[in-house]
Amino acid sequence: MTTAILAVAALALTTTPAMAQPGTAPESAAADPITSELAQLTENYLQQRADMLTTTASIARTPQIAATRQMSTQMDADLTALTEKGRRYEQVDGGYTKATVDVEVTDASASGSAATLQVSEYTRLYLPFTPQEVQEGAPEYEEVSLPHTVRFARTAEGTWLLASDVAETDGGPAPSTQVEGADPAPTDEGGSPDEDEGAKAPPSETTVLPDTGVAVVKPTSYNYGKIVSYADNYWKNNNKAYRTYGNDCTNFVSQAMLAGGWGPKGGALIQRTSNKYWFYGPTTFTTSYTWAGAENWYWFAQKHSKRTKILPSVWNLAASDVLQADWDKNGNIDHTMIVTKRYQGTPYLTYHTGATHNKSLAKLLSDHKKTWWYAHRT
């Protein structure tokens, strides 16, 4: 794999003596080879994790990187759990045939024999479709982008050992390359609206429907192709014209809807707390709750603007439609996703927090069995 190293990663990973003699190599220059070494070790480690999800996981079981005793125990447990997850995915929709991983170092630091790397994982998980099927519209792979904080410890002999790995997964569904725990903690970027909205529509059903092969035809109210193209372009690299929220899923979907022709409604400061309005402003305090709050977005889209309608089944979803999740069935929606592909009756979802492109609905449903789902026709 190719490992991208940013200039900032050239921070010191070795210690230059305080009394270094004239002519000693600059610390940043000495750091480059070690930064590259640790980045490659990190990539090898993340590659093995991804490999465990594939249908050829059995050949990737041997550890690929030296680790501390505690981390070795954690790695063994994680690899076992990822293997089980990969088998479950294989049962629900064929799973993944192979994986490729690249890492980009965004920061690096050191203190004595310890080193810390901030990296972004970029993983492609290939789906079991033929080239002909991909040409017909099937997704070739699912993509995941995920920040990690990776720590290393150096032995007296100079060997770097992986000491810990913390992935930033808070706020959304666990990325496919991560071991699942409980369903995500409910989080939202909106707030309590001015009005009492009453009861929601019944959640969409999850029982698999037969593929009729009939394409979904939508009215020409919006540019649905632009909605999908926006999600395809910005699923990983945020559009710098917008703020990024801690829980960024609904902000991302609102951007895609605006790109496809949804017009802002309102814009006055007094309107930001009402679900009847939807607008983006230069600051959080001049942006409506409905823009980045999953629960608030539901009420604007489905009730007040009638720009969406709730579908009876999640399997009715087509490209540019929106799927929302209430993880703990407490009546408050927690997460928002957009459909970027539909192939042979299966919708594929794209979302922020964490950044994921073209994950199959079948996998999402198998990951989150105790969830209320709301499928919006846009």
pLDDT, tens digit, for every residue of 292-322? 999 999 999 999 999 999 999 999 999 999 9
Most confident of 15-19, 32-36, 244-248, 310-314: 310-314
Lowest-confidence pick of 56-70, 131-145, 362-376: 56-70
Q: What's the pLDDT score for residue 169?
A: 83
Whether residue 189 has pLDDT greater than 80: no
Structure tokens at 92: 């629900």
**372: part of which helix (H) or strand (E)?**
strand 372-377
Helix 249-259 to helix 224-234 angle (10° resolution) is 140
- CA–CA separation, 54 vs 82, rounded Å? 9
Structure tokens at 121: 């994982």
Give percent of the chain above pLDDT 90.
76
pLDDT tens track for 26-78: 344 335 788 899 999 999 999 999 999 998 876 655 667 899 999 999 999 99
Alpha carbon 228 to its chain's center: 16
The neighbour count for residue 169, using CB atoms within 10 Å, is 20
Whether residue 20 has pLDDT greater than 50: no
Q: Which positions ≥6 away from 60 have C-beta within 8 Å? A: 48, 51, 52, 54
What is the three-class DSSP state of 5?
strand
Q: Is 150 exposed, middle or buried (0-12, 13-18, 19+ CB in 10 A)?
A: buried
Query: Is the full-model pTM beyond 0.85?
Result: yes
Nearest CA among 261, 232, 235, 230 for reference residue 248: 235
